[in-house]
Amino acid sequence: MTTRPEATTRPAAPAVPAGTPTKITQGSPTKGGIGESTLRPDGTLKVTGDFAYSSDMWHEDMLWGQTLRSTVAHAEIVSIDTSEALATPGVHAVLTYDDLPATMKNYGLEIQDTPVLAHGKVRHHGEPVALVAADHPETARRAAAKIKIEYRELPLITDEASATAPDAVLVHESRDDHHIGHVPHPNIVHRQPIIRGDADEAAGRADVIVKGEYTFGMQDQAFLGPESGLAVPSEDGGVELYVATQWLHSDLRQIAPVLGLPEEKVRMTLSGVGGAFGGREDISMQIHACLLALRTGKPVKIVYNRFESFFGHVHRHPAKLYYEHGATKDGKLTHMKCKIVLDGGAYASASPAVVGNASSLSVGPYKIEDVDIEAIALYTNNPPCGAMRGFGAVQACFAYEAQMDKLAAKLDLDPVEFRQLNAMEQGTLLPTGQPCDSPAPVAELLRRVKSRPLPPEQQWLAAGSEGTSIDVRALPGGLSNTTHGEGVVRGVGYAVGLKNVGFSEGFDDYSTARVRMEVINGEPVATVHTAMAEVGQGGVTVHAQIARTELGVSQVTIHPADTRVGSAGSTSASRQTYVTGGAVKNSCEAVREKVLELGRTKFGTYHPAWATAELLLEGGKVVTDGGEVLADMADVLEDEAIDIELEWRHRPTEAFDLRTGQGNGHVQYSFAAHRAVVEVDTELGLVKVIELACAQDVGKALNPLSVLGQIQGGTLQGMGVAVMEEIIVDPETAKVRNPSFTDYLLPTILDTPTIPVDVLELADEHAPYGLRGVGEAPTLSSTPAVLAAIRNATGLELDRTPVRPEHLTRT
Amino acid sequence: MDFLRPASWEEALAAKAEHPTAVPIAGGTDVMVEINFDHRRPEYLLDLNRIGELSEWEVGQESVRLGASVPYSSIMEHLRTELPGLALASHTVASPQIRNRGGVGGNLGTASPAGDAHPALLAADCEVEAESVRGTRLIPIDAFYTGVKRNALEPDELIRAVHIKKADGPQQYSKVGTRNAMVIAVCAFGIALHPGTRTVRTGIGSAAPTPVRAKEAEEFLNAALEEGGFWENGKIITPAIAKQFAALASGACNPIDDVRGTAKYRRHAVGIMARRTLGWTWEQYRGAGRTLEGAA
Amino acid sequence: MRVNFTVNGRQQEADDVWEGESLLYVLRERMGLPGSKNACEQGECGSCTVRLDGVPVCACLVAAGQVEGREVLTVEGLADYAKHREDAHPGGGCASGACGTTLDAAKRRQSEPTDGRTGEAVELAPIQQAFIDAGAVQCGFCTPGLLVAADELLENTPSPSDQDIREALSGNLCRCTGYEKILDAVRLAAARQGEAVQS
């Protein structure tokens, strides 16, 4: 029963279907190199419970930190009285704004507009106002509850109308950031128009024009590992911080100034990260834990519970999207006009970059020459919004794909054929004027999902010996037993999306890798050290594969990520395999050169090939490209260790022009298409997604198993926001009404459809190994595909997501 | 906070008499959430886990005496024949882990209108066995729910068991949630045919301040079935009767708008569930052989 | 208050327990067993699933005082439990120490990742190996709870249908994988279990 399976046994997982092979993939004769589905190096630790997540950290004598948050969304703080809390036995410190040690008291990803602790004013529900450190979490909670805060409530800014009214209260009364000069109102964080061609003139050529107004609800990343970490004061007056984040160096840049410490005195180590999806791009408890640790001289641990987590990180921007498209009778798109209004909430977070994405990707993967685009993000008193998987492209995709279906219906064309007719290709100019200079198989991806056979009908019926039986688990409503087939109608819908990879708009988007080669116990071993945040995506797996391929070793050690090595950039924007993978490859190449140089010095005289042949490192040996072994790496290296740290950059990008939006702003594009098959109980408005088939171009699958995991995971997050996931903010109070997993619903395994995946590998010659960032594209098209399928089943317009039962029942 | 650990039922009653504010905790599936999220800090927690008899049941001639802590998973597994409606309702409770811990006593004690067991208990008809050091009383389920999250228990009373009428006819239960598993009811509906008395009973969850019966719908249906001789002739219930029953069930609701759904939708959905569950139970009564897998 | 109970076959004692503490807190913060995860603390995610006297429950919803004298199995004891499944009571001490997860230990665990494919040193339960092999682990935060739930499923239902797997795991949320690889993993473990029985 308990026999261990052979290491070589592969699961019954579907193999990656053969795509078009890439031209520039390097073969990997060393086992465990790129292109193989090697298993996670942290897998064993994660299945035994031994992997140390940030909330698992423990230190002798440690204290527990607790955050007191505002109970109102917009108010002046009249007074704060901490005396009773401080007098509570077991309490070691109570901190407010007045206790902040440095002149810098704000932080922020791009704009430092977020107070570490509220100063005189709170701008959203759940804003941190005070901190407590105590010897037990309950002591800290009770003490926090004893802090008396008097608020004087201010008028609420909750939407575009209230934000831009002539007499609107300013969410930030004195802005001096670099966007203030070009925004039409101080309650607008950033505005990015894109004008290309003449949309008004082109509209004259249209035989049909379709207009739509769409609403995208506020989605939460809902990573399972709550915000948490441990700060340990060090003897030199600095602090060691163990934390779960997406970007150590970005955190560091924001933490050190408010602690009044030089960056070298804040030493950060990545703890186990329980998912991220954009929600850990911003600071949460990092600074608070450090402040308490420095104040008390003791290690301080902070762990948010799920309720607090909903206030502890930014969410996906809810959006209003106004679209107009035109097309000729023969199905060619003439023009597009749109306005995208993103609600950024009380603080800027990543809003400016989300605006850039939303506007530059608002056209989707289609050829439209005449466009008039505007995207803005608002400052409001709603919860702050920022990065989440898909980053501005998700909201746009929901809207433009709804438009495509409306146009196809109006033209009486098949929705897939209509899309294919207008699909962008390699060479197509995007609305920013940037040419797409790598494969763009949009029509092919659509063809693949469409050609897949449909799942069988009425899968809830099973013929048994005593007649037909019904399995409610296969029906809308599931275990709740709401239908035995009554009212159930099937629908099918399609969508395709376009996402950028990497940081755009001229950002210096580099990564750093340190690679060390040495001989241990007679074997060459490579150590890869980067600051890349492994958040579950499998970057550590891929780095080891790259090192094996490039250095011909089988043993690779992945060093823990920390700030003792240069920045790796963020684990976001689908960029880590590309950028940090590229950095690891680059450093490995440099190490390889050093190995060969050493070999030439030591053994060059023994064989002419050292000087004349193309040399490779394979299977622990130096070999010629003809396969002749020249030396063991162990003999080349002996006691010497080669240790190289290098930065690596992808092609530079440029900022978008602030008036026209023109500019080569993006590094790379990523494409995915979905077909959704749903069954809707049309009387009760309950939806069961039966299948969500995806086709995606990944350039080159460095680890096919991980690629599938990314695509299936992203697909399900897209489905979540189609049918159930939404943070509901009361428009009267700007308070969050459902900050819990009881009322913010994530799909369970019983809600999840089968997710067959078709992977294409069309190399992008500009990227390492031809790879394309994978993680986000599937999150885009999944949502509109599900909505399209529900529209198909119900005949309803459905201009908002997520849909709720009451939207589907004409009640 | 004090943690009281009575080893017997008598000790539990004594503790509750001494500390009437003590909060009983059995499965913990309500109480611990409130404690973890800092919504509640009772002075005393009264642990009922050590009292084994609360997790036992007895099947009698007329009824099942169901211990207050019998977990939902046991009801699903062992009492499908005697308590089919409650077994179906139990299957809709949260997740397997929660069904392994939670029991009907907790639903009754919390008396949330969203408790999954209530509509099934109302439809089946039952009495709640409440006890204190002063004695035992049986509270009819119709008199048990007194307000939003309020019940007829006295401060010194604990729920020992529920006496639920054994099914003498088909029973059904439906619940609308916005997820296919692990979801709190947007609204729910239970129905039980009682051919012995030629009556139909119902229960509605999450669509009024308390769990309620759709009494007008029941009376209408009882009369219509009688009038048409349906109990004897086993004919298909006419669409007009089913429609009117559904409309009256909707009318019995007094719901609110909240994050889980609108009042209007709740009324609508209760009507649909009433019509469908009536159809299913009646088909079963007529003997058509459709079985349900995964439904209980 | 003081609480005594058995964890993974080993007698444990916790002192100075606050009456409102959950079993989850006691395991994680007092017994050095942080494998059971604290994702929601409201019984909605299943990442703290442990077996209490054999029954899968959410450790976050069990009051510490309720565990007095009872037996708890956590993910840390799963491999050993699977090995001794035939025994009525799983034997052997497999708790990883009762002094908290020290920073040193945490660092060590982080800095010595072994390849999941080759982790010879660690004996795993079949369901654990299947999760690694099938790619069912990404961030891994839901993994311990899923493993305990899936292991119990296969103990009682050796050849579950896909719908059975879905129902049994419907109380365990995963945010990374889209569940497809988790289904694969349970199917794989069931298939291997079947092969082992036949051979």
* Residue reference for tokens 């294919």: A420
Q: Which residue of C has its CA nearest to A478?
A: C167
pLDDT confidence of residue A462: 81
Q: What rounded mean pLDDT belongs to chain C?
A: 86
Which B residues 50-69 touch C at CB under 8 Å? 50
Residue A625 has pLDDT above 80, yes or no: yes
Q: How confident is the model at residue C93 (pLDDT cuts 50, 70, 90)?
A: very low
- Cα-Cα-Cα-Cα dihedral sign, residues A304, A307, A312, A313: positive
Q: Which domain holds residue B206?
A: 171-295
How many C-beta atoms surround the C-beta of residue A386 within 10 A?
A: 28
Q: What single string gives the DSSP state of each residue in A726-784?
A: -B-B-TTT--BS--STTTSPPP-TTTPPB--EEEE----TTSGGG----SSHHHHHHHH
On whether residue B210 sits in a domain, the answer given is yes
Is residue B272 domain-resident?
A: yes
Q: Residue B38's closest chain C neighbor by CA?
A: C20
B75 burial (CB, 10 Å; 0-12 / 13-18 / 19+) is buried
Nearest-angstrom CA–CA distance, A495 and A787:
9
pLDDT tens-digit map of A267-279: 999 999 999 999 9
pTM of the model: 0.95
pLDDT bin (cut points 50, 70, 90) of residue A26 is: very low
Q: What per-residue confidence (pLDDT) applies to A53?
A: 97
- Can you name the residues that pair with A525 across neighbouring β-strands? A518, A555
B161: in domain: no
Q: Which residues pair with B58 in a beta bridge?
A: B65
**Distance (Å) of CA A418 to CA A154, A331, A364, A521, A642:** 50, 6, 14, 63, 57
Q: How far is CA A89 from the centre of its chain?
A: 43
Decide if B83 is inside a domain: no
Tens of pLDDT, residue by residue over B109-135, are 999 999 999 999 999 999 999 999 999
Mean predicted lDDT score pLDDT of chain A: 95
Question: Which of A13-27, A117-131, C73-87 is predicted most confidently?
Answer: A117-131
CA distances from A763 to A211, A361, A767, A778 (A): 37, 22, 8, 18
Average pLDDT of the residues in B262-278: 98
Flag whether pLDDT at A132 surpasses 70: yes
Closest chain C C-alpha to B296 CA, distance in angstroms: 12
Which pLDDT does position C162 carry in this prediction?
A: 96
Q: Nearest Cβ partner of A811 from B181, B264, B276? A: B264
Cβ within 8 Å, pair B100-C43: no
Probe site for chain A from C148, C175, C177, C198 (most A CB atoms < 10 A) = C175
Place of tokens 């419970």: A49
Query: Residues near C88 by Cβ (< 8 Å), separated by ≥ 6?
Result: none
Task: Find, among C46, C31, C119, the residue nearest to C77 by Cα.
Answer: C31
The pLDDT value given to residue A750: 97
Q: What is the average per-residue pLDDT within A112-140?
A: 98
Is the pLDDT score of C101 beyond 70?
no
Residue that is written with structure tokens 């291997």 in the block:
C192
Higher pLDDT, A527 or C194: A527
Whether B175 is covered by a domain: the verdict is yes
ipTM confidence: 0.95
Residue contact C129–A4, C-beta within 8 A = yes
pLDDT per residue over B6-54, tens digit each? 999 999 999 999 999 999 999 999 999 999 999 999 999 999 999 999 9
* Residue reference for tokens 């080759």: C118
Amino acid, res. B109: G
Model pLDDT, residue A810: 74
Q: How many Å lie between the alpha carbon of A479 and the closest alpha carbon of chain B?
A: 6
pLDDT recorded at residue C121: 63
Least confident among A109-113, A559-563, C90-94? C90-94
Tens-digit pLDDT profile for residues A89-107? 999 999 999 999 999 999 9
- Angstrom distance (rounded) from CA B67 to CA B51: 10
Q: In 3-state terms, what secondary structure has residue A188?
A: strand
A515: number of Cβ within 10 Å: 31
Nearest to A713 among C176, C192, C193 (CB): C176
Nearest to A805 among B38, B180, B261 (CB): B261
The per-residue pLDDT for C104 is 59
Chain C: residues touching B (Cβ < 8 Å): 1, 18-20, 22, 41-44, 46, 49, 55-58, 60-63, 65-66, 68, 149, 163, 167-168, 170-172
Alpha-carbon gap, residue A804 to A728, rounded angstroms: 12
- Confidence band (pLDDT; 50, 70, 90) for C113? very low
Residue A674: pLDDT band (50, 70, 90) is very high
Chain C residues 112-151 within an 8 A CB cutoff of chain A: 113-119, 122-126, 128-135, 137-144, 147
Q: Report pLDDT digits (tens) over B201-255.
A: 999 999 999 999 999 999 999 999 999 999 999 999 999 999 999 999 999 999 9
In CATH, what number is assigned to the domain containing residue B270? 3.30.390.50
Q: Which residue in A471, A479, A686 is closest to B176 by CB distance?
A: A686
Q: CA-CA distance, A658 to A24, in Å (whole number)?
A: 37
Instruction: Determine which of B91, B95, B182, B293 to mutate to test the interface with C (most C C-beta atoms within 10 Å).
Output: B95
Mode of pairing for the β-strands spanning B199-205 and B187-194: antiparallel
DSSP-derived secondary structure for A427-476? TPBPTTS-B--S---HHHHHHHHHHSPPPPS-TTEEEETTEEEEEGGGST
Is the CB of residue A480 less than 8 Å away from at least one CB of chain B?
A: yes
Give the DSSP H or E segment for A583: helix A576-603
Cβ neighbours around A608 below 10 Å, total: 9
The pLDDT, as a whole number, for residue C199 is 63
CB contact under 8 A, B32 and C55: no
Least confidently predicted of A554-558, A609-613, B97-101, C193-197:
C193-197
Omega of the bond prior to B155 within 30 degrees of 0, cis? no
What number of residues does chain A have?
Answer: 811
Long-range contacts, A458-463 (Cβ 8 Å, 24+):
A458/A485, A459/A690, A460/A484, A460/A485, A461/A485, A462/B293
The pLDDT of residue C155 is above 70: yes
A121-130 burial, b for 16+ CB within 10 Å, e for fewer? bbbbbbbbbb
Are the CB atoms for C151 and C115 separated by under 8 Å?
A: no
Across the interface, whether the CB atoms of B181 and A684 are under 8 A apart is answered: no
Helix residue spans in chain B (DSSP H):
9-18, 31-36, 72-78, 84-91, 96-99, 104-110, 117-124, 215-227, 230-233, 239-251, 263-286
Give the gap in angstroms from C-alpha B196 to the nearest C-alpha of chain A. Answer: 26
Cβ-based neighbour number of residue A106 at 10 Å: 16
Chain A residues lying within 8 Å of B180, measured CB to CB: 473, 476-480, 688, 748, 750-751
How many domains are there within chain B?
1
Evaluate whether residue B265 is within a structural domain: yes
Q: Is residue B113 a part of any domain in this protein?
A: no
Which helix (H) or strand (E) is B189 found in, with range? strand B187-194
- In the three-class reduction of DSSP (H, G, I as helix; E, B as strand; rest coil), residue A529 is classed as strand
What is the pLDDT confidence band of residue C194, given thresholds at 50, 70 and 90?
A: confident
Q: What is the pLDDT of residues A34-69, one digit of tens each?
A: 999 999 999 999 999 999 999 999 999 999 999 999
- Look at residue B10 and tell me if it is in a domain: no
Q: Are the C-beta atoms of residues C140 and A46 closer than 8 Å to each other?
A: yes
